Each structure stands twice: as structure tokens, then as C-alpha cells.
Amino acid sequence: MGYAALRWLFFLLIVKPFLLLAVGVNVRHRDRLPAAGPALIVANHNSHLDALVLMAMLPVWLLSRARPVASAEYFLSNRWRAWFATRVIGIIPVATSGVRSHADVLGPVRDALAAGDIVIFFPEGTRGEPERLGKLKTGIVWLAQQLPTMLIYPVRLHGLGKVLPKGDWLPVPFFCDAWVGEPLHWSGDRRLFLAALSASLGG
């Protein structure tokens, strides 16, 4: 597990100091976060920093089990990015374009959860405008249905879209907030489930 050590070092020496000094994320209800896998952490998505912040919120011993779901088109687009994303960060790459069934696209995510991983998932599908929750896609419903007893941990992020918005590479310091909501699981009703999730993500 050489890559686990690399990820640990990357978070300890780069991500955590950067988030502490340059950003400053105020986490509320950290105690609600999962203490072990399998678990699905979902959040609103405005910045490349989102996944790093969510991973850094977990206790360090869970870092090796954390797997953010990310776009294969973007993160596998060149060798170095692919190496870094899949090996150091440990993303689960999924296809985000083309007409495919949920099982085709999200099968690997379900498998990772079944194996006990802590999966980080952005139900909006892509980074949107800062502080405006986009429409949740149906992938989250499919995942919840596949594993109906699994707990889903909603985290509402605020400010990271100002620190590093879509289309920019230069981070600018601002304080940010992360609210961990009450965990929920598949309720059996698609509309109610999406409404509850949307509400806890600030929709």
C-alpha cells in the first residue's frame, strides 16, 4: 500500500496546512461524520477543493478508505492527472457524458461501497455556480436504492466556490463553512428523498 502512504503525506503536508492557513474551514457537527465505512458522503459542488475538504474532514486513519467520485473525462484526460487522481487521491472515475444506464456509470461506486469504502459523491453531477444548489441528478437515487440500509451523510459546503471557482487556477483566501447534516437513508419515496437531501445541501 505505497499509495496510501503517499496520500497520507499529501494530506498531512500539503492539503491540511493549505486548508488551515489559506482557507480556514469551519466544520459544524463534525461528530456526525461516519466513523467507519461503508458510508456515502454527499455535498454540493462548486470547486475542485470540495473533495479535498471533505477528505480532510475525516479522521486520518479513514483517509485510505475515502474515494471521491469524479469525472473520467476530466481526470483521466492525461497521464499525470490520471496517475495523481486515481493513485494519490483515489478517485472512482465515472463517465459523465454519453447515454448509459445508471448501472454502467455508477456500478464501480456501488462496488466500492459494498467493499466498505467511504465514497464522496456530488449529486449535482458537476461544479455549479457558487452558493446555488443545482438540480440533483438521479444517480443518487439509484445508489440509495441499491444500498437501502446504507447511511448517507449530507455536507453543505459554503465559500469554496469563492476560494477556487470553476475555470480558475489561483486560489484566493476566504473563510469557508461546512455543515454536516443528519445522516439519512433511502426513504422509499423518490420525491421525498430528493427533497430531504436537497434541503440539507442548502437547496
Partner 1 sequence: MSITLASPVLAILGGVWALLALATAVVWWLAPAPDSELRQRVRSWWLIVALCSLALMFSRAAALVFFGVISFLALKEYLTLIPTRQTDRRVLFWAYLSIPMQYFWIGIEWYGMFIIFIPVYLFLLLPVAMVLTGETQGYLRAAGTLHWGLMSMVFSLSHLAYLLVLPQGEYAHVNGPGLALFLLVLTELNDVAQYCWGKLLGRHKISPAVSPNKTVEGFVGGVLTTVLLAALLAPWLTPFSVLDALLAGALIAVAGFFGDLSLSALKRDLGIKDSGNLLPGHGGILDRVDSLTYTAPLFFHFTRYFYF
Residue from the set 93, 165, 202, 203 that interacts with partner 1 by CB under 8 A: 165
Please tell me whether residue 18 binds partner 1 under the rule CB under 8 A.
Answer: no
Distance CA 27, CA 22 (A): 15
Distance CA 25, CA 103 (A): 35
Residues contacting partner 1: total by CB under 8 A: 11
Q: Which is nearer to partner 1, 15 or 163 (CB)?
A: 163
Q: Look up residue 12 and give its amino acid.
A: L
| Residues 118-157, mask of contacts with partner 1 (x by CB under 8 A) | ----------------------------------------
Burial of 23 (C-beta count, 10 Å sphere; 0-12/13-18/19+): buried
Q: How many helices (H) and strands (E) in the chain?
A: 9, 7
Residue from the set 10, 174, 196, 198 that interacts with partner 1 by CB under 8 A: 174
Please tell me whether residue 159 binds partner 1 under the rule CB under 8 A.
Answer: yes
Segment interacting with partner 1, rule: CB under 8 A, options 43-51, 103-111, 146-154, 167-175: 167-175
Q: Which is nearer to partner 1, 24 or 107 (CB)?
A: 24
Please tell me whether residue 46 binds partner 1 under the rule CB under 8 A.
Answer: no
Cβ(9)–Cβ(121) under 8 Å?
A: no
Residue from the set 10, 24, 102, 147 that interacts with partner 1 by CB under 8 A: 24
Residue from the set 73, 104, 111, 168 that interacts with partner 1 by CB under 8 A: 168
179 - beta bridge partners?
28, 156
Residue from the set 36, 59, 87, 175 that interacts with partner 1 by CB under 8 A: 175
Cβ(70)–Cβ(90) under 8 Å?
A: no
Q: Is the dihedral of CA 14, 162, 199, 26 positive or negative?
A: positive
- Residue (of 135, 119, 109, 150) closest to 194 by Cα position: 135
Buried b (16+ CB within 10 A) or exposed e, 141-162: bbbbebbeebebbbbbbbbbbb
Closest approach of partner 1 to the CB of residue 26, in Å: 6
Q: Which is nearer to partner 1, 27 or 76 (CB)?
A: 27
- List residues near partner 1 by CB under 8 A: 24, 26, 159, 162, 165, 168, 170, 172-175
